[in-house]
Amino acid sequence: MIVRALDKIGAKLLVMMDQAGDFALLSGRTFAAIPRSPFDTPNLMRQFLAVGVNSIPVVVLTSLAVSMVFAVQLSFGFKQFQAEGLASQVEGLAVVRELAPVITGLMMSGRVGSAMAAELGTMQVTEQIDALECLATDPIHYLFVPRLLAAAIMLPLLTGLSIYVGYWGGYGLLVGVEGQSSFVYQAEFFKLLGFRDLRIALTKGLVFGVIIALVGCWRGYRTQGGAEGVGNAPTSSVVTSSLWILIADFFLTKLLLV
Amino acid sequence: MNAQPVIDVVNLSKAFGPKVVLSNVNLQVREGESLVVLGGSGTGKTVLLRNIMGLLKPDAGHVAVEGKIIAQLDREELFKVRQKIGMCFQMAALFDSMSVEENVGFSLKRHTTMTRAEVADRVDECLGLVGLKGTNHLRPSELSGGMKRRVGFARAIALKPEILLFDEPTTGLDPVMTDVIGRVILDLKHELGVTTITITHDLKSAFEIADRIALLFRGECIACEAPADFRRNPNPVVQQFLKGDADGPFLQDPPPPKRAMSRALHPPPA
Ligand SMILES: Nc1ncnc2c1ncn2[C@@H]1O[C@H](COP(=O)(O)OP(=O)(O)OP(=O)(O)O)[C@@H](O)[C@H]1O
Ligand SMILES: [Mg+2]
Q: Edge-to-edge strands of the sheet including B195-199?
A: B85-88, B163-167, B195-199, B34-39, B212-217, B220-225
- Residues B133 and B139: their CA atoms lie apart, in Å, by 14
Here the CATH number for the domain that contains residue B252 is 3.40.50.300
Interface touch A138/B111, C-beta < 8 Å: no
Q: Is residue B14 part of a domain?
A: yes
Q: Is residue A8 part of a domain?
A: no
Q: Is residue A6 part of a domain?
A: no
- Residues A86 and A192: their CA atoms lie apart, in Å, by 10
Q: Is residue B63 part of a domain?
A: yes
**Which of B82, B94, B96 shows the shortest C-beta gap to A134?**
B82
Cα-based angle A188, A192, A193 (whole degrees, multiple of 5): 105
Domain that holds residue B63: 1-79+211-262
pLDDT of B3: 62
Interface touch B75/A138, C-beta < 8 Å: yes
Question: Taking the alpha carbons of B62, B66, B71, B73 in that order, is the dihedral positive or negative?
Answer: positive
Q: Is residue A89 part of a domain?
A: yes
Q: Whose CA is nearest to atom 9 of ligand 1?
A: B47
Listed in sequence order, the DSSP H helices in B8-72 are: 45-53
The predicted-structure confidence for B221-233, as pLDDT tens digits, reads as follows: 999 999 999 999 9
pLDDT of B171: 87
Give helix A100-108 / helix A56-79 axis angle, nearest 10°. Answer: 140
- Contact of B91 with chain A, judged by CB distance below 8 Å, is answered with yes
Q: Is the pLDDT of residue B134 over 70?
A: yes
Q: Is residue B147 part of a domain?
A: no
pLDDT of A236: 95
Q: Is the pLDDT of residue B262 over 80?
A: no
Domains of chain A: total: 1
Nearest CA in chain B to A130: B55
For residue B114, which amino acid is it?
A: M
A194 burial (CB, 10 Å; 0-12 / 13-18 / 19+) is exposed
Which regions of chain A are under pLDDT 70? none
Residue B114 pLDDT class (50, 70, 90 cuts): very high
Residue B89 pLDDT class (50, 70, 90 cuts): very high
Domains of chain B: total: 1
**Cis ω before A57 (30° cut-off from 0):** no
Q: Is the pLDDT of residue B259 over 80?
A: no
pLDDT of A102: 96
**Which of A38, A123, A131 shows the shortest C-beta gap to B89?**
A131
Domain that holds residue A165: 42-256
Cα-based angle B142, B145, B149 (whole degrees, multiple of 5): 105
Q: Is residue B68 part of a domain?
A: yes
Q: Is residue B158 part of a domain?
A: no
pLDDT of B261: 66
Mutation for testing the B interface, residue in A134, A142, A143, A144 having most B CBs under 10 Å: A134
Q: Is residue A5 part of a domain?
A: no
